[in-house]
Chains A and B, each alone.
Chain A
Amino acid sequence: MAYPQFHAAGDAAILVEFGSEINPESNASVRALSESLRRKPIRAITECVPAFCSLLINYDPCRLRYQALTRQLRKRLQGLSTEAAGSARVFAIPVCYNGEDLEFVARHANLSKEEVIRRHSAPEYLIYMLGFLPGFAYLGGLDPAIHTPRLQNPRTKIPAGAVGIGGEQTGIYPLASPGGWQLIGQTPVRPYDPQRAEPILYAAGDYIKFEPVTAAEYAALERRQAAGEQIWEVGRHG
């Protein structure tokens, strides 16, 4: 089937699909269209929701009907380059690998805890999309050796900043919530902080790199953060 495809999502939204599997290429197309619409808006469009390989475009049908919007989007998609303007940001996130499931993850992978930490903190993970909770990043690129099934019985409360593995995914819980992921560590960084000037730390298309820290370093970082310091670093990808 040829992509992109257009699907109606009711009388006020359209779903543009760029592929049928999760890969950086179709995700780059999603970002390219959403960036293009941000820079040069189509007036009827109210809000876009980027996902792994699709962009949901909410619009005002009083301004533009479905067919007319589809035509405009097709035109926009021609000549759209998926090469990102400038390089993406990499957020270095300090993690104390002291999670209560680290032992289980290591046993499941038949690796030492140290090796799990090494493999988890090696890649720069692409943020495919944000969703589920404010600031919850869906990351790609977890080492298959440490894929771990979700808990049989989800926990009723996982603290904000918990770092976990759920199946083939890894990520940070942005706020306290129930959850079924295997918890391997904790970061003092808050991906979502309503008091911060930028309440959400990063965006789809950025990268995350986990930096192992000791319990003592973690405590020091927390103190620095309480004093108003920024405790994560931002670099450039590639």
Chain B
Amino acid sequence: MADTLTVLSPGMLTTVQDMGRAGWQSSGFSPGGAMDLPALRAANLLAGNSKDMPALEMTMTGPGIKFNCDAWFALTGADFQAELNGAPAPTYALIRASEGDELRCAAARAGCRGYLAVAGGFALEAVLGSCSTNLKCGIGGFAGRQLRAGDELPLQCPQTPIANPQERRLPVPAHLDRDRPADKIILRAVLGPQDSRFTPNGLRDFFGGWYTVAPASDRMGIKLEGAKVTTHSGSDIISDGIAAGSVQVPASGQPIVMMADRQTTGGYAKIATVISADLPLLAQAKPGDHLRFVAIAMDEAQTIVRREARAMARLEYHYLTLR
């Protein structure tokens, strides 16, 4: 048989994602990429890949997948109660599939998005430097779209043997632990870029209240329902560039946190920006989850980013030396 995976059932929204399409925002392309970057990286490292390779991102309900060849794979992010030929397939571990095996994912428990990385990676062509699926433009990933039943995903060959498979396990991150469902999420954010356009009450309500994740949330933005955030003189600004995690407040006063598939530019005031380290919490937030924001200073935020980057570098080194 060919070195491929066949999609038996697509799940709610399963797309190929990598680190995103860098360098094209000035032309109007969303950066895209995995919503939960640490989970994507963990899946790749477990599967013996370099950390930035494309993997499948699944959403809310996962796909059914048939292996048409022997392959190693890893699941990370939300727990989709996956089973390989009826036996539990745990997350954050390396798993062996044989030709003909079927992986069945169900609904996500504790979390919203999961990643499936296959050892060696997918044999897909990068478009504008990335394999991320850009749904709006219909480019990248597999045929520029979400996966459908019957799709056959080509794998890179050969499937090289993996050293020390039994050592390839990682702890499940605390916010994805299914025994401790974290439906109360605390997000750290840095003020700005347009915090001066908000009233003292607006700022107090934003940082004081609990918000509920709205069903209309998607890869573009996590939409929130809760205390109305008020501005001095309207929420319209002259359109400017939007950073990952920026919290845009339109006229409704209901905040939207801008995520991977965000528009590159926008005309709504942004009260604060969620720190990089907390974006994975948002990527895993499901409609109905509750969250609130706390303000932290820039220096502290950047100390946290650096700490996380060092931890990822250590993990990467560890997996490189396992080879």
Contacts and interface: CB of A to CB of B under 8 A. Distances in A.
B302 A11 contact: yes
A15 B240 contact: yes
Contact of A132 (B139, B240, B263, B299): B263
B2 interface: no
Interface in A154-203: 174-175, 177, 192, 194, 199-200, 203
B144 to A, nearest CB: 9
Nearest to A8: B192
Contact of B127 (A7, A15, A194): A194
A214 interface: no
B245 interface: yes
A14 to B, nearest CB: 8
Interface string B269-313: 010011110000000000000000000001101101110010000
Interface string A201-219: 0011000000000000000
A20 interface: yes
B275 A10 contact: yes
A54 B238 CA distance: 9
B243 interface: yes
Determine chain B's interface SS by DSSP, over half rule. mixed
Nearest to A177: B136
Most buried by A among B28, B128, B301: B28
Given A66-B302, A204-B26, A12 B243 contact: yes
B265 A51 contact: yes
Nearest to B302: A61
B26 A7 contact: no
Contacts of A177: 136
Interface string B166-198: 000000000000000000000001111110000
Nearest to A194: B139
Nearest to B298: A66
B23 interface: yes
A135 interface: yes
Contacts of B24: 134
B298 A131 contact: no
Nearest to A198: B27
A133 B242 CA distance: 14
Contacts of A84: none
A21 interface: yes
A20 B233 CA distance: 14
Most buried by A among B24, B241, B244, B309: B241
A131 B267 CA distance: 11
Interface string B243-259: 11110000000000000
Contact of A49 (B25, B189, B298): B25
B31 to A, nearest CB: 8
A97 interface: no
A22 B26 contact: no
Residues of B in contact with A, size category: 35 or more
Contacts of B139: 194
A48 B264 CA distance: 10
Contacts of B191: 8
Contact of A12 (B238, B241, B244, B270): B244
A10 B245 contact: yes
Given A9-B243, A49-B265, A194-B137, A131 B128 contact: no
Most buried by A among B26, B191, B273, B309: B26
A15 B238 contact: no
A131 B273 contact: no
A227 B11 CA distance: 41
B238 A53 contact: yes
Most buried by B among A10, A13, A46, A134: A10
Contacts of A51: 238-241, 265
B293 to A, nearest CB: 13
B305 A11 contact: yes
A65 interface: yes
A129 B273 contact: no
A7 B28 contact: no
B264 A49 contact: yes
A138 interface: yes
A9 B305 contact: no
Interface in A71-122: none
Top 7 nearest A-B pairs (CB, nearest first) are A56-B241, A10-B273, A49-B241, A131-B265, A13-B243, A7-B193, A11-B301
6 contacts: A10-B246, A10-B275, A15-B240, A56-B240, A58-B243, A132-B263
Interface of A: 7-13, 15, 17, 20-22, 34, 46-56, 58, 61-62, 65-66, 129-136, 138, 174-175, 177, 192, 194, 199-200, 203-204
Given A11-B190, A50-B26, 19 more contacts: A8-B191, A9-B241, A10-B273, A11-B276, A12-B243, A12-B244, A12-B276, A49-B242, A49-B264, A54-B241, A58-B25, A62-B305, A129-B265, A133-B28, A135-B28, A136-B28, A192-B137, A194-B137, A204-B26
